[in-house]
Amino acid sequence: MLTKDEIREWDNAYIAGTYARSPLYAESGKGAICTDKEGKEYIDFSSGIGVNSLGFCDSGWVEAVCSQAKKLQHISNLYYTEPQAELAKMLCDRSFAKKIFFANSGAEANEGMIKAARKYSFDKYGAGRHKIITLVNSFHGRTVTTLSATGQQAFHKFFDPFTEGFEFVEAGDEKALEAALSSDDVCGIMLEFIQGEGGVIELSEDYIRYVEDVCHKRDILLLADEVQTGIGRTGSFLCCENYGVVPDIASLAKGLGGGLPIGAVLLGEKCMNTLTAGTHGSTFGGNPVSCAGAMAVLSRIDEDMLSDIRKKGEYIRAELLKVKGVAAVTGKGLMIGILPKKTDSKIAASECLERGLIVLTAKEKIRLLPPLNISYDEINRGLEILKEVLS
Ligand SMILES: *Cc1c(COP(=O)(O)O)cnc(C)c1O
């Protein structure tokens, strides 16, 4: 057993320094409570960045994952497995999707979405109609191509050359979108309905409807990055449902596996047969154990749970708006951004951690992504700490 100091020293010595870690040495967890090496408990308002949809070690989820691990952990996509077929059907039954491609992460799901959009256009219109428009302040992942798709200049350095064929427009600016479309080489518009990493910023309903309309009229695919907003997070199964918008493709990842790595590309009617044998693939994609975890998550996100998510979100919002130090609260359901009046969000997050509450940040906001099944008792315990820190 390593001590805290040894863990930190080994981590610093042997792990690439890509993360600025906070001083939590997580040992175990149950529901929305994480326990560290020394037995200190933390309320978790982060779900491991929206991943642990059912909290830590939910018993049904553990049972599903363990029993699949004992039966068959992997065989590759050269063969058939039951969990993959079953999960794909569940996702199609629950959404606009007609077919699913399984990946392992959000960036990979977005790569699949980008490839499907480009190939759809290639098949129908030939080469050259390959541009994808994304929004300023978006976040789509860390691979070279998804970084290229990410509309933040801060991400466009060090790794040149980036992938061609992306253009950024300001969210809400219909004229800018019109101008970007004038080149007639656009095959898709890719967006987060609520920008997550960018600061928990919702797109306006008018703009979303405008984009949907433009896409339909010109056979441009609407690509919804639902990596953070999907799987019930915003109070509907997919965030696009809040707006009555049906995308052509959507990507899922974070909350899908309940803590196991899995991503999915949801392919709508137009491009359900676009990705054919040999055009895309993944060794780990649709791994049976990850699929079993995802099914355990999906089987729990029913209408009752979605309604609970909306109610809990409204409760948290109302409580936060009573706090003097809070300037604004954004987001939907259990995806919540808090703009503090004075405190820096990073400092506030580290003060919360010291007092036993795990929260995230997104730019100048504190970001909350609690487990979808968090109890009111756990919510209240976390809110007490947040109020202390923000007041
Ligand atoms: C987290 C995130 C990604 C990237 O997901 P990874 O699993 O880290 O590759 C992409 N898009 C959005 C909207 C995200 O929030």
Whether 177 and 313 map to the same domain: the answer is: no
192 ligand 1 Cβ < 6 A:
yes
Radius of gyration of the chain (CA): 21
Q: Which domain holds residue 36?
A: 4-53+303-390
Whether 183 and 76 map to the same domain: the answer is: yes
- pLDDT for 67 equals 98
Average pLDDT rounded to a whole number, residues 135-161: 98
> 134 alpha carbon to ligand 1 midpoint, in Å?
15
- Please give the mean pLDDT across all residues of the chain: 98
In the chain, the amino acid numbered 205 is E
Of 269, 300, 331, which one is at a domain's C-terminal end? Answer: 300
> 107 alpha carbon to ligand 1 midpoint, in Å?
6
> 291 alpha carbon to ligand 1 midpoint, in Å?
19
Ligand 1 atom with the smallest distance to the CA of 107 is 9
Tokens of 151: 């509309």
The active-site residue out of 58, 131, 155, 225 is 225
In the chain, the amino acid numbered 210 is Y
Average pLDDT rounded to a whole number, residues 5-12: 98
Whether 165 and 256 map to the same domain: the answer is: yes
Q: pLDDT for 281-292, tens place per residue?
A: 999 999 999 999
Q: Sheet harboring 166-169: ordered strands across?
A: 99-103, 263-267, 249-252, 221-225, 186-191, 131-135, 166-169
226 ligand 1 Cβ < 6 A:
no
Whether 312 and 190 map to the same domain: the answer is: no
**139 belongs to the catalytic site:** yes
Average pLDDT rounded to a whole number, residues 286-306: 98
Of 280, 300, 320, which one is at a domain's C-terminal end? Answer: 300
DSSP state of 107: H
CATH of the domain at 343: 3.90.1150.10
SS3 at position 17: coil
Whether 364 and 248 map to the same domain: the answer is: no
The active-site residue out of 119, 131, 254, 312 is 254
Domain count, the chain: 2
The C-alpha atoms of residue 248 and residue 244 are separated, in whole angstroms, by 13
Q: pLDDT for 304-341, tens place per residue?
A: 999 999 999 999 999 999 999 999 999 999 999 999 99
Whether 37 and 106 map to the same domain: the answer is: no
CATH of the domain at 152: 3.40.640.10
Whether 295 and 309 map to the same domain: the answer is: no
**58 belongs to the catalytic site:** no
Whether 250 and 330 map to the same domain: the answer is: no
* pLDDT interval class at 109 (50, 70, 90): very high
Q: pLDDT for 116-132, tens place per residue?
A: 999 999 999 999 999 99
135 ligand 1 Cβ < 6 A:
no
Q: pLDDT for 215-247, tens place per residue?
A: 999 999 999 999 999 999 999 999 999 999 999
Listed in sequence order, the residues at least 6 apart from 158 whose beta carbon sits closer than 8 Å to its beta carbon are: none
Whether omega before 247 lies within 30 degrees of 0, making that bond cis, reads no
- pLDDT for 61 equals 98
Whether 41 and 118 map to the same domain: the answer is: no
The active-site residue out of 139, 155, 168, 237 is 139
> 252 alpha carbon to ligand 1 midpoint, in Å?
9
Strand duo 326-332 + 335-340: pairing: antiparallel
Question: Is the pTM of the predicted complex or chain greater than 0.85?
Answer: yes
- pLDDT for 374 equals 98
Whether 95 and 189 map to the same domain: the answer is: yes
Of 300, 335, 351, which one is at a domain's C-terminal end? Answer: 300
The C-alpha atoms of residue 340 and residue 327 are separated, in whole angstroms, by 5
User: In testing the pocket of ligand 1, which one of 139, 190, 229 has its CB within 8 Å of the most ligand atoms?
Assistant: 139
**254 belongs to the catalytic site:** yes
Contacts within 8 Å (CB) and 24+ apart, 23-26: 23/353, 24/353, 24/358
111 ligand 1 Cβ < 6 A:
no
> 140 alpha carbon to ligand 1 midpoint, in Å?
6
Whether 137 and 73 map to the same domain: the answer is: yes
Whether 327 and 271 map to the same domain: the answer is: no
Q: Measuring CA to CA, which residue among 229, 179, 171 is closest to residue 200?
A: 229
